A and B are shown apart, each in its own frame.
Chain A
Amino acid sequence: ILNVEQSPQSLHVQEGDSTNFTCSFPSSNFYALHWYRWETAKSPKALFVMTLNGDEKKKGRISATLNTKEGYSYLYIKGSQPEDSATYLCAFYTSGTYKYIFGTGTRLKVLA
């Protein structure tokens, strides 16, 4: 059974703090890792699609790294803002299947 784990489950930070969270996934048969942001009452929206070991992606204050050999990805938020409050999901896509296995998410609350 493929398992994707995210930590921490939830996180409260002050506005301006930088933070990071982890997604752990099986290191074999890796094909892609996705990060999504899911704001309350909205649909999940893709942040990054990562496919290569050592990938680093950046979008504004948010960045992500990928280590496929050891099976983890980090998501970093620099200078957190209240609008960053959301659940951050990672999804692992393994070669040979057509499905994404989602982690349970990290729920981030940024306090003004």
Chain B
Amino acid sequence: GAGVSQSPSNKVTEKGKDVELRCDPISGHTALYWYRQRLGQGLEFLIYFQGNSAPDKSGLPSDRFSAERTGESVSTLTIQRTQQEDSAVYLCASSPQPGLAYEQYFGPGTRLTVT
């Protein structure tokens, strides 16, 4: 079946511009996670959705970052006024339910480069 998809796969943007990253989770998965990996660092939790609500936004690095999810499906991560330190691979993952030890299914990621 279809896995998690993300778009775009690569995005180069100028400092100060806004970007939107999209994630399509596996159909029926209620839990959705966003992570990022900056060069030389581990996977960093950003935000978690249960259905369309986000009980845990604690990982969002600043108020320039926001995310939403609609229809218990697609999620978008928006970064406003991008900075060079936002350059990273942004990964989305979904799992059948939250709060249980289900494995996460990851998308291929969006590589964001801020120049």
Cβ-defined contact, B101 with A51, below 8 A? yes
A51 to chain B, nearest CB (A): 5
The reply to whether A93 and B43 contact each other, CB–CB distance below 8 Å, is no
- In the assembled complex, the Cα of A35 lies from the Cα of B87 at a distance in Å of 26
Question: Is A43 in contact with B42, judged by CB distance below 8 angstroms?
Answer: no
Secondary structure call for the A interface: strand
The reply to whether the CB of B55 lies closer than 8 angstroms to some CB of chain A is yes
- Whether B42 lies near A102 (C-beta < 8 A) is yes
A64 at the interface (CB under 8 A from B): no
Q: Are B108 and A42 in contact (CB under 8 A)?
A: yes
Asked if residues A34 and B99 are in contact (CB atoms below 8 Å), the reply is no
A99–B108 CB distance below 8 A: no
In this assembly, does B98 line the interface, its C-beta being within 8 Å of a C-beta of chain A?
Answer: yes
| From A43, A100, A104, contact of B107 by CB (8 A) | A43
Q: Residue B59 at the A interface, CB < 8 A?
A: yes
For this complex, into which size category does the number of interface residues on chain A fall? 20 to 34
Chain A residues near B41 (CB-CB < 8 A) = 104
Across the interface, name the chain A residue whose C-beta is closest to B93.
Answer: A44
List, in ascending order, chain B residues with CB within 8 A of A34's CB.
Answer: 101, 103-104
Could you tell me the distance in whole angstroms from the C-beta of A96 to the nearest C-beta in chain B? 10
Expressed in whole angstroms, the Cα–Cα distance for A97 and B106 within the complex equals 20
> Residues of B with Cβ closer than 8 Å to A?
3-4, 31, 33, 35, 41-45, 48, 50, 55-56, 58-59, 91, 93, 98-99, 101-109
